[in-house]
Amino acid sequence: MKALNILTRIKNFFKIGGAKLGLTQNLEKVTDDPRVAIPSSEYGRIREAKAYYANDLKEVTFHDARGRAYKRQLNSLNITKMASRRLASIIFNEGCEVSVDDKKADKVVQQVLQASDFNENYETFLEKWIALGSGCIRPTISNGKIILSWAVADQVYPLNVNTSEVNEIAIAFKSQQAENRQTVYYTLLEFHQWDQNTGDYTITNELYRSTQKDTVGIQVSLDTLDEYASLQPSVKFHNITKPLFAFYKNPGANNINLDSPLGLGIVDNAKTTVDAINRTHDEFVEELIKGRRKILAPDYMFQGASESNELNQFANKTHPPLLPEDETVFQMYYGSNSDEDKIVDLTVPIRVDDYTKAMNFWLDEFERETGLSQGTFTSTPQGIQTATEVVSNNSTTYQTRSSYLTMVRKNIYSLIYAILELAQYTDLLDPDYQWTGDIDAVQPNFKPNDGVFIDQDKQKQEDLQAVAGNALPKRIMWIRDYGIDDATADEWWKMLQEESGQPDPDGEIGLYASGGDDNDDEENDTESDAEGS
């Protein structure tokens, strides 16, 4: 950050003074702002869910053999991360397709999505949204282009409650930097609001500065930071009908706060089970560490024993020292250098089966609580399963995935509408990002990848039989079963014709690729008959 100019320093000086007098906004938490209608307890819940997701758990108190208390981190199993990652990967992945039925609108949308690495970023942020419960995507105009900004649950603050739709929101973007050898924290609050009287849509930008990490701080000028210097304090949009953000929430009701529009994270109703999984895993790891093989041996058997012991050993014609002092299996005790000294094996069996059963019990509980099929994390006795068995056994996961897909589809459609709303501000955009049209007439499309839940081998066999019986065109089978596009399917067909030595003037390429139909064939037949007669 470059040095603040004099005008900015003066403005910030008066804002700080005004904050002390109550004339300038001074926030400890974002929820202290009167425009935010969500209680701070919701964000306390989100912070706790975030700690589980990050595996940043509190230290646990234990007692040693003398009853003295000590604390340490659990050898935990980050099941929250594992479950969120599993769900995100089967809900949205590189095989998903997003499109618009209007060609010009679709061109703009694809330009924005490709420039933002949408498929990769969406799967990544969907994992975080599932873990924390909510999230948001916000398109904005920057240097003539439409770019996407992403936010997770602790950055998203709905401005209304008691509604299933979130049409007004505040988004917090946080950053930090060193100033005069001190870490300073900045929070940009971006408010999206509708004017109920005029129908206009207003975005308000406010920047806050604090020297404490957990405090929003005092409102300062936007040009305090170079990255926000070009922002306007307030921007009003006319003649738009859709919000310029896309809000996401996990499916299901928020049973912790019935009035909150925020979704629940995957761990919010499973904390007791997750804690039990972590305890069981920790105890097993500790048993492996402390239950490793231990053998007691007298001290004179170790190298580095005392000189007197060494003399006694040779005087009695005993064996020389055998074991190095850094030996971990053998442990030393003070022997009497007599035949009564014995080597004692203290190793006890590790209860692998007991801990496996206990862990599987808690994992099975977690699978039920999160809507995942049995066997997602637990070991199953069936061994290798066929694709049909996998589909059958994943029925619970499939139903859960369907619920999530409903919310993902809603989020993506809202994003497409938001992009197209911005695309109509043509004077601010490069040609590739411009579009004008009736946004209400546009139909977005989202096609998920269902390959995980389809017995693809069986589908290929059925499609081959359909092709052999002239009930399915080859190119349809290639596209569906081999994942190729239309152009590649055309190339495959031409290659087959070249190999067989049979040209295809009016075959499948003409019928399915160039738009030929039965009426054209009838007309050609009629013309041929006429010429023949």
pLDDT digits (tens, 9 = 90+) for 512-531: 444 444 544 544 454 445 44
Residues 6+ apart with CB under 8 A from 464: 477
Residue 310 is which amino acid? E
Per DSSP bridges, beta strands 97-100 and 169-179 are unpaired
How big is the CA angle at 311 (ends 310 and 313), to the nearest 5 degrees? 65
**Tokens 């190793």 -> residue:** 347
Per DSSP bridges, beta strands 295-298 and 330-333 are parallel
Q: Determine phi and psi for 432, rounding to 5 degrees.
A: -65, -15
Indicate the range of 42-51, 107-116, 307-316 predicted with least confidence: 307-316
CA atoms of 57 and 275, how far apart (whole Å): 10
Q: Determine phi and psi for 307, rounding to 5 degrees.
A: -60, -40
CB 413 within 8 A of CB 444: yes
Ranges 9-18, 35-44, 482-491, most confident: 35-44
**pLDDT tens across 158-176, in order?**
998 766 789 999 999 999 9
Structure confidence at residue 18 (pLDDT):
46
The pLDDT confidence band at residue 532, using thresholds 50, 70 and 90, is very low
**pLDDT tens across 266-298, in order?**
999 999 999 999 999 998 898 888 777 777 777
Q: What is the mean pLDDT of residues 245-259?
A: 94
CA atoms of 491 and 475, how far apart (whole Å): 10
**Tokens 């928020």 -> residue:** 254
Q: What is the mean pLDDT of residues 2-28?
A: 54
Tokens of 174: 């946080």
Break the chain into its structural domains and give their ranges: 292-347, 455-532
Give the closest residue to 193 by CA, choosing from 185, 183, 201: 201
CB 188 within 8 A of CB 151: no
First vs last Cα of the chain: how many Å apart?
87
Angle between helices 103-115 and 118-132 (to 10 degrees): 70
Quote the mean pLDDT of the chain. 82
Rounded to the nearest angstrom, the gap between the alpha carbon of residue 434 and the centroid of all alpha carbons in its chain is: 31
CA distances from 495 to 27, 103, 315, 475, 503 (A): 68, 30, 92, 13, 10
Structure confidence at residue 485 (pLDDT):
76
Counting every residue, how long is the chain? 533
Q: What is the mean pLDDT of residues 149-163?
A: 90
CA atoms of 360 and 378, how far apart (whole Å): 5
CA atoms of 56 and 145, how far apart (whole Å): 38
CA atoms of 469 and 105, how far apart (whole Å): 40
Structure confidence at residue 151 (pLDDT):
97
Per-residue H/E/C for 57-126: CCCEEEECCCCCEEEECCCCCCHHHHHHHHHHHHHCCCCCEEEECCHHHHHHHHHHHHHCCHHHHHHHHH
* Residue 504 clears pLDDT 80, i.e. is over it: no
CA atoms of 371 and 399, how far apart (whole Å): 8
CA atoms of 270 and 27, how far apart (whole Å): 33
Structure confidence at residue 14 (pLDDT):
44
CA atoms of 282 and 383, how far apart (whole Å): 27
Stated pTM of the model: 0.76
Ranges 63-67, 259-263, 298-302, 462-466, most confident: 259-263
CA atoms of 360 and 51, how far apart (whole Å): 24
Structure confidence at residue 334 (pLDDT):
67
CA distances from 526 to 504, 506, 522, 533 (A): 21, 16, 6, 11
Residues 6+ apart with CB under 8 A from 351: 287
Structure confidence at residue 235 (pLDDT):
94
Tokens of 86: 């599993």
Residue 222 is which amino acid? L
Phi-psi region of 143 (alpha: psi -120 to 50; beta: other; left: phi over 0): left
**Tokens 């980050």 -> residue:** 78
CA atoms of 489 and 495, how far apart (whole Å): 10
Structure confidence at residue 384 (pLDDT):
46
Q: What is the mean pLDDT of residues 224-247?
A: 93
**pLDDT tens across 178-222, in order?**
988 899 999 999 999 999 889 999 999 999 999 999 899 999 999
Tokens of 349: 């069996």
The pLDDT confidence band at residue 300, using thresholds 50, 70 and 90, is low
**pLDDT tens across 389-443, in order?**
555 566 788 889 999 999 999 999 999 999 999 999 999 999 999 999 999 999 9
HSE-up (13 A, CA, CB side) for residue 496: 13
Tokens of 189: 């609050």
Per-residue H/E/C for 181-236: CEEEEEEEEEEEEECCCCCCEEEEEEEEEECCCCCCEEEECHHHCHHHCCCCCEEE
